[in-house]
Amino acid sequence: MTPFGKYHPLFLEELFIVHLYGSDKEVALFYRLMEERDDQGSIVAMAALLEDIKRKNLTKMNWYCCHRCQNFELCRINWYRGERNLERNCCTYCQHYEDCYKKFLGNREGVYPVEQLPCGKPSGGTS
């Protein structure tokens, strides 16, 4: 495999994130999903994988996806995670993500009491 694999201009940011922050296992999964990128299920799995990589390595935000998300009830990433018994964490596809992320950072510094957090209690992992 070449360092960044086959060039796919529509997935350039995703390639960058996966190679910079993903584990070998996550990179391999990403390329397997890329081979089937015409399948909608593979695109959803790829989006969930990328959101998990960003959360784990960059934002560290472990809040649940909540009712504030405009896609909460119909979100394919949320459904994908639920079907696989994965944590349903807040992700960057939510229109309120930036606001929640600012509050998450403030909560880490003790600015907001837990009962004032928009997304309720955090999911497992680091807070």
**3-state SS assignment for residue 100:** helix
Structural domain count, the chain: 2
Confidence at residue 113, expressed as pLDDT on a 0 to 100 scale = 56
The Cα–Cα gap between 12 and 16 comes to 6
15 and 48 share one domain:
yes
Confidence at residue 125, expressed as pLDDT on a 0 to 100 scale = 45
Residue 42 is part of which domain span?
10-59
73 and 27 share one domain:
no
Entry pTM? 0.77
The Cα–Cα gap between 98 and 9 comes to 26
**3-state SS assignment for residue 70:** coil
Asked if the structure places residue 5 within a domain, the reply is: no
Q: Is the dihedral of CA 113, 117, 121, 123 positive or negative?
A: negative
The Cα–Cα gap between 45 and 33 comes to 8
74 and 115 share one domain:
yes
Q: How confident is the model at residue 37 (pLDDT cuts 50, 70, 90)?
A: confident
**Residue pLDDT, tens place only, 69-112:** 888 888 899 899 999 998 888 889 888 899 888 888 887 766 55
Q: Which residue has the tokens 């350039």?
A: 12
21 and 79 share one domain:
no
